[in-house]
Structure 1
Amino acid sequence: MAKSAFTDEDDALLGELGVEVEAKKKRSLTPREERIIAGFEDIQRFYEEYGRAPQHGEENDIFERMYAVRLDRLRQLEECRSLLEPLDNQGVLADAPAASGHGDTEIDDDALLEELGVEAETADITELKHVRSHAEKRAAEEIANRQRCEEFDKFKPLFDQVQDELDEGLRETRTFELKAEIRPGAWFIVGGQKAYVADMGEVYSNAQGRTDARLRVIFDNGTESNMLMRSLQRALHKDDAGRRITDSSAGPLFADHTADGDEASGTIYVLRSKSDLPIVKEHRNVLHKIGVTSGKVERRIANAKIDATFLLADVEVVATYELYNINRTKLENLIHRIFDPARLDIEIKDRFGNPVVPREWFLVPFNVVDEAVERIKDGSIKGYVYDPQQARLVERKAG
């Protein structure tokens, strides 16, 4: 007999109040009982997700029909009812099942699975050897439904372009929130992979009265899936790292004036060097330093003479463009990507004799820099790069 955790005085007081103080031994469960409980927990999770007991019917998916059969059997077997009723805080066992009209109550899980063309995992309702959660089974079904995308060569350039636009700041990743965000042409990150909604079938209402549609989703690993919209929604919500990728639009990255609620974020500057280095003297009119600063440009260039990134010389301010509510780093990366083919390849010694490779100097005419700024403003910069041979912006070739 287990000993009470109370003192004799406590025991006496509790005894007068009619409280039993003897600690009760917890009855251990047999493996069979544990399997029965695990199977019932699947049904409880379904009830929590959908607000009702699983039902029979050809229009319902395989897992709901399995749970409906299982619940019928658990209700019928007195052994199961007595075991599960203390755990049934939702009243699932007492909830009268709807008439199926299909005779499903006369067959067990294996028979139903065999009828549906699915290999059975279990031998009997009370012999649940491989019970998995509702979510795990759905996830396994969705993964199994992926197949090799035969047309991936057609889609791969789109994936490459989206990655470039993410790197350039033309797209962003944001938390997935609404089912309405799932539409043809939409991009997501789920399970660590980029996913592209290539097509969407007709929208309909499922058995639960919720809108759904069949999707064709292409993944960046070269596979595809004809998954349901609600399946993708569920996967995005359950994935802590699941994100949606915004549409490609540079938008008004900066303007010449602030709007209500805007706060100045910094300035793009275009500088010309006064250095006497031979390469600078030779190309002075087309050699420009292009950068972004969060402070005043005057302050940024105040120590140009002793700063190797400014070629250890004073500079002339050619143009400035004020920025509002943007990511300065992404914008600077975008500008540098555009003019990368014309980046000046030079190494100089700083005032302490250390080698420095300045990265923001480009052999580009100012009118082309100004054009790039305008294209960033109106969003037309996508896919453009500078061609040094033609000394102008050209559309970047795919591939």
Structure 2
Amino acid sequence: MSDPDLDELAAELSEFAVPEAKGGRPPREERVIAGFEEIQRFVEKHGRAPQHGEDRDIFERLYAVRFDRLRVLPDCRALLEPLDHQGLLAGTLGVAEPLATYNVDQLAAELGGVANADDITVLRHVRTSADKRAAEEIADRKPCEDFETFRPLFERVAADLKTGLRQSQPIEAGRRAIEAGDFFVLDGITLYVAEVGEPLKTTAGEVDRRLRLIFANGTESNLLLRSLQRAFYNDPAARRLVSPESGQMSFGGEFEADDVESGTIYVLRSLSDHPYVAQHRDLIHKIGVTGSKVETRIADAEHDATYLLAKVEVVATYKLAGINRSRMENLFHRLFAPARLDIAINDRFGHPVQPQEWFLVPLFVVDEAVERIKDGTITNYVYDPKAARLVKAVSASRTKNEKAG
């Protein structure tokens, strides 16, 4: 290490300059003293002199380089010894010797953004470790060569979100583990967890796993599990896309301890004496979703045009867990829209009302629709009112085209 004179040292420490005093010491001496006082404050806080080393804070390494130079320059020692109440210059605090192989130029490059900082503790234009890590994680993405294998999965997820079969939920830390087959939205992009690797031990002794993540934009990444969790934490808009297969969608049967009952799908049959209703009673059903008890919902049915101003009987119910009730109800109504009952009932004020939740659908078809919602295949089917059954959407489209031709 060369021995720069006082002018060179003062120039290197110019970023720590204090306002020039109108009287007293020359400005260069004031700067050297100010730099030494920074070192003294570090010693008071940590109980030791600043040391070199890659594992040290970048400012501690700066102080260590500065301190090495102050100790070897006679002019600086003479200036600072009267102020050295801690015995630093004499080495009584166990000051570490500088590393012979330490590259000062390398440190200077790392500190390139510190110039003109108002506060020595604030980095300017220097990337934080988190920024560097985030950049590395993004750069780790590469084109997914077999993306066509995954494309149908993303298309199905998009369709499920539109129909309400899949829900977008905030990611709660510790609520549920990340597993293969999960879908998330991160930074506005849908991602699919294709693979979860074997447990890995980190340097901190924690357990981590290597993931294979496929993104909807055709890229993939092999992030570590903890890196993905950290990315979720840093993105307030990150979401988990809950699917029927994930076990967070439930109809009937026993509920798990942490399930949240969202409501009940109910199927009603009207006891109205309206001629058309009476003739097709076994085929006409009202399908709805409620968050309260069904019995409470229908208690005053005979006075409500929505229930055809008649009593009703409950013919089927299906419990829901973790499902948006209005979306589920809309799903059923869209599915059976071609068979909506076209009937007008006068309310108690004599005004005609056309109920929207009654359909000419056999009960067994409603049962089948529920099962297909549970297994995720409902998006492939439509209701054929003439055949009174669910048919494959492709088959229905082909039949329609044949008739048009």
2:66 pairs, out of 77, 84, 89, with 77
Does the residue aligned with 2:185 lie in a helix, a strand or coil?
strand
| C-alpha displacement of 1:307 | 3.7
Percent identity over paired residues: 36
Does the residue aligned with 2:180 lie in a helix, a strand or coil?
coil
The reply on whether 1:317 has 2:313 as its aligned counterpart is: yes
Query: 1:157 is matched with which residue?
Result: 152
Kept in 1, the 8 Å contact 2:167–2:324? The answer is no
TM-score, with length taken from structure 1: 0.57
Kept in 2, the 8 Å contact 1:162–1:171? The answer is no
CA change 1:209–1:275 in 2 (3 A) is: same
Query: 1:87 is matched with which residue?
Result: none
CA change 1:393–1:212 in 2 (3 A) is: same
Match of 1:77, as an amino acid?
Answer: R
Match of 1:76, as an amino acid?
Answer: V
CA RMSD of aligned residues (A): 5.1
Structure 1, residues 221-267: CA drift from partner, whole Å, max 9, x if none?
44433333332121112233334444523664334x89999998765
Distance 1:180 1:303 in 2: 42
Kept in 1, the 8 Å contact 2:263–2:325? The answer is no
Distance 1:371 1:218 in 2: 33
Query: 1:241 is matched with which residue?
Result: 237
Query: 1:143 is matched with which residue?
Result: 138
Kept in 2, the 8 Å contact 1:364–1:391? The answer is yes
The reply on whether 1:177 has 2:160 as its aligned counterpart is: no
Distance 1:95 1:316 in 2: 89
Distance 1:347 1:192 in 2: 45
Match of 2:287, as an amino acid?
Answer: I
Match of 1:361, as an amino acid?
Answer: W
Does the residue aligned with 1:240 lie in a helix, a strand or coil?
coil
Distance 1:253 1:165 in 2: 17
Kept in 2, the 8 Å contact 1:171–1:245? The answer is yes
Query: 1:368 is matched with which residue?
Result: 365
Query: 1:229 is matched with which residue?
Result: 225
Kept in 2, the 8 Å contact 1:174–1:246? The answer is no
Does the residue aligned with 2:375 lie in a helix, a strand or coil?
coil
2:127 pairs, out of 129, 132, 140, with 132
Query: 2:297 is matched with which residue?
Result: 300
Query: 1:253 is matched with which residue?
Result: 251
Q: Which runs of 5 or more structure 1 residues have no equivalent in the other structure?
A: 1-29, 41-52, 57-63, 83-93, 112-120
Distance 1:80 1:55 in 2: 17
Distance 1:321 1:223 in 2: 43
1:339 pairs, out of 335, 342, 353, with 335
Distance 1:275 1:80 in 2: 102
| C-alpha displacement of 1:220 | 3.3
Match of 2:15, as an amino acid?
Answer: R
Query: 1:215 is matched with which residue?
Result: 211
CA change 1:138–1:272 in 2 (3 A) is: same
Query: 1:195 is matched with which residue?
Result: 191
Structure 1, residues 295-333: CA drift from partner, whole Å, max 9, x if none?
5545534554554433x4425425042747665716843
| C-alpha displacement of 1:344 | 0.9
Query: 1:32 is matched with which residue?
Result: 15
| C-alpha displacement of 1:362 | 2.3
| C-alpha displacement of 1:365 | 1.0
Match of 2:64, as an amino acid?
Answer: R
The reply on whether 1:380 has 2:343 as its aligned counterpart is: no
After TM superposition, list the pairs within 5 Å mapping 1:354-365 onto structure 2: 358-365=355-362
Q: Which runs of 5 or more structure 2 residues have no equivalent in the other structure?
A: 1-12, 18-34, 39-50, 71-79, 81-93, 117-122, 395-405
CA change 1:145–1:173 in 2 (3 A) is: same
Match of 1:141, as an amino acid?
Answer: E
Match of 2:389, as an amino acid?
Answer: R
Does the residue aligned with 1:197 lie in a helix, a strand or coil?
strand
| C-alpha displacement of 1:340 | 3.4
Kept in 1, the 8 Å contact 2:303–2:310? The answer is no
